[in-house]
Chain A
Amino acid sequence: MTTGAAPASFVSDAALKRLQKRKAADQRLKYYGLGAIGIALLLLATLVTSLIITGHTAFLQTHVTYPVYLDPAKIDAQDPSKGNYRSIVRDSFTALFPEVTAVREKRALTDILTSAAPYILRDEVVDDPELIGQTIDFTVPVSDPFDQFMKGNIKRETPEDDRRVSDQEIAWVDQLVAEGRLSKPFNIGLLTNADSRFPEMAGLAGAITGSFFALLVCFLISFPTGIAAAVYLEEFAPKNKFTDLIEVNINNLAAVPSVVFGLLGLAVFLGTFGLPRSAPLVGGMTLALMTLPTIIITTRASLKAVPPSIREAALGIGASKHQVMMHHVVPLAMPGILTGTIIGLAQALGETAPLLLIGMNAFITSPPGGILDPSTALPTQIFIWADSPERGFVSRTSAAILVLLGFLVAMNAIAIYLRRRFERRW
C-alpha cells in the first residue's frame, strides 16, 4: 500500500484555479450585496439632500422694514378695521423712492411688497389703535420673486428677459439693501400662517392643526377599539369559524390599498352619513379604520409576550378573568401597545390618498377651529403646494416635507424610547 504523498490532483494547477474561481465568485456575490446596500443608502441620501437643498431657503423669509405714516385721514378711528390701508402702504413705500413718479412704475415698485401687506398693517392697527397718527417701522415679507432673488434662486447674470425680476427692480432692491431695509429672519410665518395664494404668506398652521385634529380623532377611535379587539381575540375568543373570519379580515385589511379606504370614506361617511366634506372628523375616521389593523396586530403581539405564569398566578389567587386582564396583563403589555399605536399614528400622519378623496385638499385660508371645519392636513398641503406653479412653492413644499419628516422622526423616536425604557424581557 502506498503511503506518504497525498494524491497530487488535490493541489494540481487545475484544482487551484477552480478554487480561485469559486472564491472569486464568493467575493463577487459579497460585493453585489454591498453594492445593493450602497445604492439603497445613496438613494436615501439623495432624497434627503435634495429636499434639504431645495427646502432650507424656505425657513428664512426676506422682509423689508420701512417707515409708515398712519394717516388719521385714511383710517376710521372708531373702527380701525376700515381704512384705506392699501394707499397707506403704497404711498409710504413709494416715498422711499422719490425719483419714481410714473404711475406704472409706482405700481411695479409696490409689487416688491407682498400683496397681503395692507391686511398685515390693518391687523397691526386693529390690535393697537393708539398707533393711528404715528409713524411706525413696518416690517412685511417681500413678494416671492424678490424673495427668490435675495436667496440667489434668481440670478443677476441671467438675461433680463429670462428672469422674473427686471433690471429696474434689481436696482430698487439694491437701493433697499444699501439702506439696510432688507432682513432675512427665520420664517415664523411658515408655521403660524395658514395657506395663501401668495407663497411668501403661505404657511402650515392650517395643515398642522388639521392633521392634529384628524390624528386625535383617529387615536380616540382606534386606540380603545384596537385594544378591546386584540384582548378579545387573544385572550377570550373561542377558536371557531367566526373568530377565524375576524382574524383573516384583520390581516387582509392591513394590506388593502389606502386609496380604497378613501373610496369607503367617500361613499359611506360622506355619501351615506352626510358628514361634511374636508372635515378632520371624516379624515380621522377613515385613518382610524386603516390604523386599526396595525394596532390590533401589535397589541396581540405584546399580549402574547406576557408570560402565562402572570395569568396563572393571578387566577390562582382568585382573580376573575377580567381582573387578570385589566389589572395585570394589559398594564404589562402597555409599553408594547403604545409603541405600536405611535407607529400606527405615524403612518396615518403620512397618509395622503384617502384624505384627497374626502376633500382634505381644499384651498382654505384659516386654520380649522374644530373637527367639523374644513381643513387640509400636512401631506395634502404638500400635495397642493407641489402642484402650484410659483417658484416659491417649490421650496415651501420641500420645507413642508421637512416639517412632516420632523414630526415622523419625533414620533418614532418616542416609540423607540418607550420600547427601550419600559419593555420587559421575561
Chain B
Amino acid sequence: MLTTLFICLVAVAAAGYFFGQRKARGLAASQNTRLHSLPGYHGAYVAFWVGLPSLVLVLFWLLFQDAVVEGLVVSAIPSEITQGMSGNRIDLLVSEIKSVAAGRIFVEPQPYVLEAAAHYNILNNTAEKAMLVVVLALAVLGLGYARRNLSADFRARQKVGLTMDGLMILCSVIAIVTTLGIIASLLFEAIRFFEKVPVGEFFFGLSWEPQIAIRADQVAGTGAFGAVPVFTGTLLIAAIAMAVAIPIGLFSAIYLTEYAGDRFRSVIKPVLEMLAGVPTVVYGFFAVLTVAPALREAGAAIGLDVAPNSALAAGAVMGIMIIPFISSLSDDAITAVPRAMRDGSYAMGATKAETIIRVLLPAALPGIVGGILLAVSRAIGETMIVVMAAGLIAKLTANPLDAVTTVTVQIVTLLIGDTEFDNPKTLAAFALGLVLFVATLLLNIVALRVVQKYRERYE
C-alpha cells in the first residue's frame, strides 16, 4: 500500500518535471523569447510543488493515523465496558483488538472485542484509501498551481535553488534534532524516575537491586536504586580495559612510527585496525567462549577462585577491542611532532629510544592523553561485551576476579523484554543512560580540547 503510494508520488513528480519542462519550451517557442531559466529548472520547480507537500502530508498522516483510529475505536466501544478502566487497561485492550484485527486469535475474544476489531479494520481501510485520494489530490493541486506560475521570465532557477538550500539546511539540522531528542527523552524519563527515587539515593546509595515487583502478588525485593556499585563496576572494567590497551597500543604505535619500515607498516597497520572493525557482539562471544574459561582454569591452577563472569575477562576483551583505537590515535600524535625536534635530538647524539622517550612522547603527550580519554569514553559506553561477559549483580568490590556489573549492562537488562513506562525499574535505565550520556559527552569535550590546544602549539 505504502509502496504503491510512494511509487505513485514519484511517478506524478516525474510527470510534473516533464510537464514543466515542456511548457517552458512551449512558452519560449510561442512567445519567441529567451527563457530566464533553463527548461529543466521549470520542470524541477513543478516537481517540487507536486512532490514535497504531498510527502509532508503522507508523513504526518502516518504519524497520526494510528492514534486517531485507536481513539475512534475506543470511543465506539460501549461506555459501560471502558468505564473505570485505567490507562494501562485500555492500552491492553487496544493491543488485544489490534491482534484480533490482524487475525492472531489465541483465546476466543469477547464479542465487543470482535466488533471493535472489525471496526478497526474498516477504519484503517478507509483511512488508507482516504490518504491515497487526499495525497494524490494535493499532488494534482500542486501541479496545477506550479504550472500556472510558469512564464518565460519566471525565475525558476532561483526558486529551485532556494528550495534546495532549505532542504539541505533541514538535513543539517537533523544532527541537532537528534541531540535534542536524546537529551529530551533521557531527561524526561529520568525526571520521572527521580520523582519516585530521590536523587541522593541514586547517586550515593550503595545497594542496587532493581528487581521490584511488577504485580502486587509477585515475590521480589522491595527495590533499591543506589547506583554506586554500578558506577564502580563500570570504572573497574574500564580500568582493566585500559590497563590492557594502553601499553599494547602505545608500544605498537611507537614501533610503527619510529622503527618499522614502510612495507611492514603498510601491512600491519590495517591488520591492527581490523580489531576495531570486529562487531562487539563477536568480542562478547569470544569472552564467554574462550577468555573466561581460560582465565578460570588459569586461576584454578594457581589456587585463585575466578568468577565465571569476572570483571577481568570482560575488561581484558574490551581492552583488545580498544587497542587499535589507542594505537592509531597515538600514531597520529607522534607523527604530528615536527621533524625538526626529532632531527635536533638525533643531532645531539641521542639514540632512537632516547629521542622517543625524552622528546617525542613529551611533545605528543597531549595528543596521546586526548586519545586515551576518547578510549575511556568508548570503554564506559561499550555494551555488548559486558552484557555477555560481565555479571548482572551489582557488587561493590575492586577485585578484578569477582563479577561486577556496569551501567550499560543494567540499561540493557532493565529494558529487555516487556517494558512498562511507569515502573521505576524501566525508568532507572533512562536515568543510567543520562549519566552515561553526560559522562561520555564530558570526556569527549575534554579530549577534543586537549587535542586542539596541542595542535595550536605546533601549527
Pair A379/B172 contact, Cβ less than 8 Å: no
A47 to B294, CA, bound (A): 13
- Nearest CB of A to B287, in Å: 10
Which of B73-81, B115-123, B195-203, B413-421 lies on the face that meets chain A?
A: B413-421
A22-B173 in contact given A50-B290, A256-B440 (Cβ < 8 Å): no
A170 on the B face (CB < 8 A): no
Q: Are B412 and A39 in contact (CB under 8 A)?
A: no
- Indicate if the CB atoms of A252 and B441 lie closer than 8 Å: yes
Report the bound CA distance from A69 to B411 in whole Å: 55
What is the predominant secondary structure among interface residues of chain B facing chain A? helix
Per-position 1/0 for B155-181, Cβ under 8 A of A = 001001100110111011111101101
Once the chains bind, are A257 and B164 in contact (CB under 8 Å)?
Answer: no
* 0 or 1 for each of A252-283: is its CB under 8 Å from B? (1 = yes): 11011111110110111001011000000000
Residue of A at shortest CB range from B444?
A255
| B327 closest partner in A (C-beta) | A40
Residues of chain B within 8 A (CB-CB) of A397 are 285
Within 8 A of B (CB), among A371-393: 379-380, 382-383, 386
Chain A neighbourhood of B169, CB < 8 A: 232
Tell me the minimal C-beta distance from A320 to chain B in angstroms.
Answer: 6
**Known A263-B429, A267-B189, A401-B285; contact A229-B175, beta-carbon cutoff 8 A:** yes
Q: How far is the CB of B19 from chain A (nearest CB, A)?
A: 22
Q: Which of A34, A245, A249, A397 has the most CB of B within 10 A?
A: A249
Bound complex: CA of A346 vs CA of B284, how far in Å? 18
Distance (Å) between the CB of B143 and the closest chain A CB? 23
Contact A350 B280 (CB under 8 A): yes
Of the 9-residue stretches B23-31, B133-141, B145-153, B374-382, which lies at the interface with chain A? B374-382
Chain B residues with CB under 8 Å of A353's CB are 280, 383-384, 387, 408, 412
Does B399 reach chain A (CB closer than 8 Å)?
Answer: no
Determine the residue in chain B with the shortest Cβ distance to A27.
B353
Q: Which residues of chain A have C-beta atoms less than 8 A from B436's C-beta?
A: 257, 259-260
Contact stretch, chosen from A73-81, A289-297, A334-342: A289-297
- Chain A residues near B384: list those with CB within 8 A: 352-353, 379, 383
Query: With a CB–CB cut-off of 8 A, which chain B residues contact A43?
Result: 275, 320, 323
Could you tell me if A267 and B430 are in contact, using CB atoms closer than 8 angstroms? yes
Q: Which residue of B lies closest to A385 (CB)?
A: B285
Q: Are A266 and B175 in contact (CB under 8 A)?
A: no
Contact between A33 and B430, CB atoms less than 8 A apart: no
A131 contacts chain B at the CB level, 8 A cutoff: no
Chain B residues closer than 8 Å to A386, beta-carbon distance:
281, 284-285, 288, 388
A54 to B356, CA, bound (A): 43
A401 partner residues in chain B, CB cutoff 8 A: 281-282, 285
Say how far B233's CB is from chain A's closest CB, in angstroms: 16
Contact (Cβ within 8 A) B254 A25: no
Within 8 A of A (CB), among B316-342: 320, 323-324, 327
Chain A residues positioned under 8 Å from B185 (CB to CB): 263-264, 267-268, 271
Stretch binding the partner chain, chosen from B9-17, B205-213, B244-252: B244-252
| B29-82 interface (Cβ within 8 A of A) | 63, 66-67
- Report which residue of A25, A36, A250, A273 has the largest number of chain B beta carbons within 10 angstroms of its beta carbon: A36
Residues of A within 8 A of B (CB): 22-23, 25-26, 28-30, 32-37, 39-41, 43-44, 46-47, 50-51, 54, 224-226, 228-229, 231-233, 236-237, 243, 245-246, 249-253, 255-261, 263-264, 266-268, 271, 273-274, 289, 292-293, 296, 320-322, 346, 349-353, 356-357, 361, 379-380, 382-383, 386, 394, 397-398, 401, 404-405, 408, 412
Q: A252-B444, A353-B408 are in contact. List 13 more A-B contacts (CB 8 A).
A: A29-B353, A30-B255, A35-B251, A36-B252, A41-B272, A46-B290, A50-B289, A237-B172, A257-B381, A322-B164, A350-B281, A352-B279, A401-B282
Can you name 27 A-B pairs with beta carbons within 8 Å? A26-B352, A34-B259, A36-B255, A37-B251, A40-B275, A40-B320, A47-B286, A50-B286, A50-B289, A224-B171, A249-B175, A255-B378, A256-B441, A257-B381, A263-B182, A263-B186, A263-B430, A267-B188, A273-B63, A350-B277, A353-B280, A356-B412, A379-B384, A398-B285, A401-B281, A401-B285, A408-B279
